[in-house]
Amino acid sequence: MENVLLISFLFFLVAALYSTVGHAGASGYLAVMGLLSFSPESIKPTSLVLNIMVALIASIKFIREGYFDRKIFKTFVFTSVPMAYLGGSVTLSPTYFKLFAGLFLIISAVMLLIRNTIKIKTATIKPMPQFKGWIIGVFIGFFSGLIGVGGGIFLSPVLILSNWADIQKASGIAALFILFNSVAGLIGHLSSIKELDGNVGYWLLSVTLGGFIGSYLGTNKFNKRLITIFLFLVLLSAGIKFILFDFIFKT
């Protein structure tokens, strides 16, 4: 029971921290489960289930506050959703899942750092070419479904660095993008689910509370510098563990 409470608290913390920037926390859940040595078969579906709940909360909050762009969102999900479904239907061996998850966490750490340190002025925002949005959606969608994430941690830096949206609108777009991709990935994975942890109900309650708190703080311009540093270190350490200890030393 003590272990369940610890994991519930960690998932709550991840959901609260990530939802401040419109993310649902999938990379954080992967990091927690990787550090605590969850079975590879349970990591993907658990991550997607928790992701859906927090992304739903964050989407509602950011969209209600006006931080959203319907045209940009529709362009990306047009290709990302079917590809997330396709990726979700692919089951990697435990060994290669750990390799891909580790690489994802390390890249996510860098992308999160970029996303929360770059500056953009509203005047510099420019229209997004539709074709580019489709291509980006294909790659993010497939990889999201394959690993069990929503892809927002990749999408929001792309939006900001390309000057297609300001930081808060990027958060709103990313939140709903994550929700759609996570649902598609989970549906694609349903036929191959072998294990869903029996304690997932406790964790859903934890991330729901964390999602409400984090999305409130995020839409009220909460200072995220310390949060970014903390998440960067967690993702990086978990990614290194996946690759170094769970892949290289065990293969």
At residue 68, the pLDDT reads 92
**Segment of 54-63, 94-103, 236-245 carrying the highest mean pLDDT:** 54-63
Tell me the pLDDT tens digit for each residue of 175-200: 999 999 999 999 988 876 655 677 88
- CA max distance for the chain: 53
Q: How confident is the model at residue 75 (pLDDT cuts 50, 70, 90)?
A: very high
Q: Are 175 and 115 in contact (CB under 8 A)?
A: no
Specify the pTM: 0.85
The dihedral through the CA atoms of 170, 175, 176, 182 has a sign that is: positive
Could you give the CA distance from residue 109 to residue 240 in angstroms, rounded to a whole number? Answer: 11
Average pLDDT over residues 119-138: 83
The backbone region for 125, taken as left when phi is positive above 0, alpha when psi lies in -120 to 50, beta otherwise, is: beta
- Between 2-19 and 225-240, two packed helices, what is the crossing angle to 10 degrees? 130
Tell me the pLDDT tens digit for each residue of 92-127: 887 888 888 888 888 888 887 776 666 655 557 889
**How many CB atoms are closer than 10 A to CB 96?**
12
Residue, of 226 and 65, whose pLDDT is higher: 65
In Å, what is the CA distance from 128 to each residue of 158, 159, 162, 165, 215? 11, 9, 8, 9, 26
Q: Are 23 and 152 in contact (CB under 8 A)?
A: yes
Least confident of 28-42, 122-136, 163-177, 217-231: 217-231
At residue 130, the pLDDT reads 94
Mean per-residue pLDDT over the chain, rounded: 83
Tell me the pLDDT tens digit for each residue of 150-159: 888 889 888 8
Could you give the CA distance from residue 190 to residue 183 in angstroms, rounded to a whole number? Answer: 11
At residue 181, the pLDDT reads 96
